[in-house]
Amino acid sequence: MRPLVTWLVVGALAAIGLLAARDALRGDAAAQKPGTTVVHALQHAPPAGPPAIPGRGELSAELEALGATGALYVTDVNCRRFILRLPALRWTTPAGLPGPDCGFGARPVVHDGSGIAALQVDDGRIEVFSEGWRHDFAGTSPAFKPGGTLTFVRNGRLYEWSARCPAGAATVGFRGVHVIARCIRAVPGAPPLMREAVWLAEDDYAALAGSQDAASLLVVRGGRTLSVFRAVGIRLTSLRASPDGRYLAVSEAGQLALFDSRREGELRQPPGAALPRVVAWSPDERFTAAATESFVFVYPSGRSRPAVALPLSAIRLDWR
């Protein structure tokens, strides 16, 4: 004779089976009933590992001949990040890293030396913060000079939070590694109708200036202004610079145009890589990685050839 506990277990399993069968029948009935939506579970979970790279051996040899080295951080459409070692094309992350860059909001700019970050919180306000401290003010396009000075745009003019404050000026104590009193000061010689700025050196910067439908990409270096590109009828946004400021990227309706900050005109892209959606530069700026919908092209910066086309899809790239 079975012990009482055994009978209880058997009975419980039978009850669970009956409930499951009942729910399944109800689900089938709901699926047949007009106006009822049935949500089915995924048959298979998305793969956890990095994507395969067909032709890895040949592509790796091409990258080695090119001289491209380092680690490429590839974020896929599921916001998973993987680290790809170059030129070997070996994934060093068997499972995806958390993808911190897939939100739809603005990303903060951070000055590594002080730990202070600045974030565009809406169309007309900037929030500055570090551990246990924050301050917000009117402005757009926050950016840090290499030395740590925060700049911003307000009413078409470029300003900085300067440490050179005259007596009696209103100041804010920026609390990073040290607390520094700073006051607002207009950047002298900045172009009118400023919209965005990124710093290339302590006193040199690139800027988008003009109206939304007639903007210019300008480079101010040594007090002299170079007009790199002018767009009419196309909105230019999201200005970015390479690590040492040699190369620039600007968004044109969600796709990127690339430039050399030292001369006029748009840079040519490798065949098949026109208007990529994301771009990254190697730390020494010698190479560019540009991602289209189906490929990541790696090629010498400033030249469209030779290029290596990696069969990868990416919504964000970082090169370290």
Report the pLDDT value the prediction gives residue 102, as an integer from 0 to 100.
67
Report the pLDDT value the prediction gives residue 129, as an integer from 0 to 100.
94
Report the pLDDT value the prediction gives residue 10, as an integer from 0 to 100.
36
> Structural domain boundaries of the chain?
1-40, 50-103+270-320, 105-188, 199-267
Distance set, CA 86 to CA 239, 290, 300, 319 (Å)? 27, 15, 14, 10
* Degrees, nearest 5: CA angle 188-192-196: 90
Report the pLDDT value the prediction gives residue 99, as an integer from 0 to 100.
61
For the chain (320 residues), the mean pLDDT of every run of 10, in chain order, is 37 40 40 38 57 96 97 90 96 77 72 90 92 93 95 97 91 86 95 96 96 91 94 90 96 90 94 89 97 95 93 94
Distance set, CA 61 to CA 56, 73, 166, 271 (Å)? 9, 20, 60, 20
Tell me how far apart the alpha carbons of residues 70 and 49 are, in angstroms, rounded to a whole number.
Answer: 21
Report the pLDDT value the prediction gives residue 24, as an integer from 0 to 100.
41
Report the pLDDT value the prediction gives residue 192, as an integer from 0 to 100.
94
Report the pLDDT value the prediction gives residue 177, as an integer from 0 to 100.
75
Q: If 0-12 CB within 10 Å is exposed, 13-18 middle and 19+ buried, where does residue 287 land? A: buried
Tell me how far apart the alpha carbons of residues 117 and 88 are, in angstroms, rounded to a whole number.
Answer: 35
Distance set, CA 117 to CA 28, 141, 143, 160, 171 (Å)? 54, 13, 9, 15, 18
Location of structure tokens 């919180």: 121
Render pLDDT for 235-264 as a digit per residue (tens, 0 to 9).
899 999 999 999 999 998 778 999 999 999
Those residues with Cβ within 8 angstroms of residue 57's Cβ, 6 or more apart along the chain or in another chain: none
Query: Which token pair is 63?
Result: 């990258």
